Chains A and B, each alone.
Chain A
């Protein structure tokens, strides 16, 4: 890192807060334009239905309505179907996915018609007047049912409901299982989750008909990717489309997509020649915004009698939903390399089958594949510990991969830097593990009412996506680089243009810290521009905990190039060789003659006036960097959950939650801690409360915030955090990424704690979410069985 660090590592408060705390946040819903029209979408109430007819006349005649269209009316607007960018196998089945369906509605929420009106309320009122004649069809929502013989087909054009089967094999797994003393076999389920970013999705498109230009403001995590893909979907020249992601109110993967409503606003703005806006109602978003998870996992571990793992075998069924959104098929595979977690072994076999059902499409949700993988292996480790009769901590120690660099994992990855045991030890020091176990034994002997349980999750995850070449080998449809431009303005201020597009992560602050230290300027003197494809033309955006490890590194490297250029200019102006200059805190001085110096601000002005430049130098003091990392990064850590369960009610109370994460070097400790807090909260919520439930006919029963429990402050505990620092060797900042680690780690720690508490009753499984009812029933059944 740069010498003379003043800001990296802490001590600054977020720049983003100034507007967000005063009501001056610029969210898409607040954008209004002269002549603005509002879009409302008519959606199928059925999980599966043939559309027999659509009557739009009443809607068209309603007050304020400008136009109404069916899918057929809009068919000519599309140059291509909505894109899916990750065809994971050669023989994957990719059903056509149009913004408005024409023949069949394949999930509750599938768009069947649209209304455009002068006000939002007029559009919503008129949408109610659209009469659609449906013929309800048999639906299927469960992955196992969808693969059964005779299951209703989601897409009549396909042979069955399977989408693809992807496999990964390393070593001789049959041999590993053949020589094993112990085989642990488990079946786990990953409930379907609804991401619930607090800002509902919204989009505004402003056309400039005479020029053929379009500006789209969208609640998106991926303005740059969106620009490319909407140009292709709409047949708009890419140069005519500007995408702006202003303040975005959380995403968690649910805004990492190419959505029908964005395409519709573009198409309708083009067709009508007026700006068009759509804002999702929260409950509308429950069916129209991608869901996450929804897998069935078959897990087998082959081990020696003392619990040393020899081989791993995993078989997944992953629910795709009714269509493939941007990275639907690849999302479960992001965990496909990590089902062996932080542990060793000789052989690994992973197979995942994607399955179509009559449900909202799934796609990335915080962690995207890695929470599922971590859950499977961390729960299976506890099962193995029980099987061979050792403590959950001991089973982990016996199987940890060694401390090191580029450590090969049975899943085929090379972990950048590892030190799992050191991290676990730090957690145990803070925990007083022996004391907790003694308390547990004492309570059990006394027959105390509340059941005490301790659960561990010693996770490793994979982020910093990624070397473009590696993504290419997985058939991923984009690169893994990111871009930065850094310029010193004539008045001595610094401007950083980043291709990362934040939505709560505090990039403006962290990037300012990096640039301020690298350039030797004040934190306050750095401005960070982002989220507008006209301002930051290059970017690969924010997802997969990649921003700092890729986009942040690009900023750092671009700053280094600015400093190099400034150094040459300083040497020229001071009439010394640049090699004779020292650079510290923004000042170049001649070695041994500290009075002979130029500040970077002086050099910025000199570069702008360009009155005297070195031979061949161009005016201006700026540099760019497009950084493509050589490897992923692999954050790791130990999460420990301590629960008390009331056997009378089944209620699980988290009495301690300790997270000791290692994300390499830390730019802003406060932001890192915040990411862990929020991530852990979502993992706990998945473990204990959240589950999207479909009725067999395809009706989403958890259809709003009233019946899908997004936890409040009253449900969640405070968290204890600590960290260890094992710098990554992937990038020069030594950073790894922390956006998803909490969510990846938390759910198995919680469920392992619940099982630990209930284990004296012989209970070895509670499916997520471990609701009071589920826990109470398990206790009742166990006690009944014992009686």
Chain B
């Protein structure tokens, strides 16, 4: 067992983990936040994407021990003070989800990306999300949603910063 200290959505978790534990299993099974889904076993699908220190990572490709001392944000931590993140709002308004399984990871990837590129083109959004698979939407409305969220966030002057 290894002792780790990970902050998840602002709450510190000091706990022992089996060193082989993946971050996604730590989040789901030990922290008890099940919004982050597991969709594959090859780091292909991105359903488990979370933010680590504000950057998007696939939580199936990070060991829990690697998150020691870091801040993790999951989909449960996106809304602030009862108000949805612009990415959540845009996915809702533009029908950016259907079954919703890929959605938490897709949104976290989008949030991480918009931090890096607040004014992306459609092509840049498509390229940025290539590590996140969706089988329902054909991505059309996901791309529309991310572009709309970018506009909202720019209009708000970057107030809606992830994890901030």
Contact = CB atoms under 8 A, between A and B. Distances in A.
Contact of A23 (B40, B104, B135): B104
Nearest to A25: B100
A682 B135 contact: yes
A140 B41 CA distance: 28
Interface stretch (A62-70, A462-470, A549-557, A708-716): A708-716
A504 B34 contact: no
Contacts of B140: 677, 681, 716, 718-719
A193 to B, nearest CB: 12
Given A14-B95, A674-B95, A249 B100 contact: yes
- Grouping DSSP codes into helix (H, G, I), strand (E, B) and loop, the A interface class, with mixed when no group exceeds half, is loop
Contact of A505 (B47, B79, B98, B103): B98
Nearest to B9: A23
Given A674-B141, A705-B40, A712 B130 contact: yes
A136 interface: no
Q: How large is the interface on B (under 10, 10 to 19, 20 to 34, 35 or more residues)?
A: 35 or more
B141 A200 contact: no
A491 interface: no
A247 B34 contact: no
A616 to B, nearest CB: 46
A710 B93 CA distance: 26
Interface string B38-54: 11111011010000000
A21 interface: yes
Contacts of B33: 23
A196 interface: yes
B56 interface: no
B134 interface: yes
Interface stretch (B63-71, B119-127, B152-160): B119-127
Given A503-B99, A704-B42, A198 B35 contact: no
A479 interface: no
Contacts of B138: 677-682, 716, 719, 742
A13 interface: yes
A19 to B, nearest CB: 8
A16 B103 CA distance: 12
Given A249-B99, A282-B45, A21 B137 contact: no
A23 B75 contact: yes
A282 B98 contact: no
Contacts of A671: 95
A504 B141 contact: no
A24 B74 CA distance: 12
Given A13-B92, A14-B92, A21-B84, A712 B101 contact: no
B103 to A, nearest CB: 6
Interface in B89-115: 91-93, 95, 97-104, 107
B42 A198 contact: no
Contacts of A283: 40-42
Given A199-B39, A681-B138, A719-B140, A22 B75 contact: yes
B100 to A, nearest CB: 3
Contacts of B34: 23, 27, 29-30
A22 B100 contact: no
Given A504-B100, A504-B136, A712-B133, A677 B35 contact: no
B132 A712 contact: yes
B136 A17 contact: no
Contacts of B45: 198, 282, 705, 710
Interface in A222-248: 247-248
A714 B42 contact: no
B126 A670 contact: no
A22 B135 contact: no
15 contacts: A17-B92, A19-B100, A21-B97, A23-B104, A25-B37, A198-B99, A250-B98, A252-B135, A282-B44, A678-B136, A679-B138, A706-B44, A712-B126, A714-B126, A716-B140
Given A21-B84, A674-B136, 8 more contacts: A20-B100, A22-B75, A24-B35, A25-B100, A198-B133, A283-B42, A506-B98, A710-B45
8 nearest A-B residue pairs (beta carbon): A23-B35, A20-B100, A249-B101, A681-B138, A504-B99, A705-B44, A677-B138, A282-B40
Interface of B: 28, 33-42, 44-45, 47, 74-76, 78-79, 84, 88, 91-93, 95, 97-104, 107, 122, 125-127, 129-143
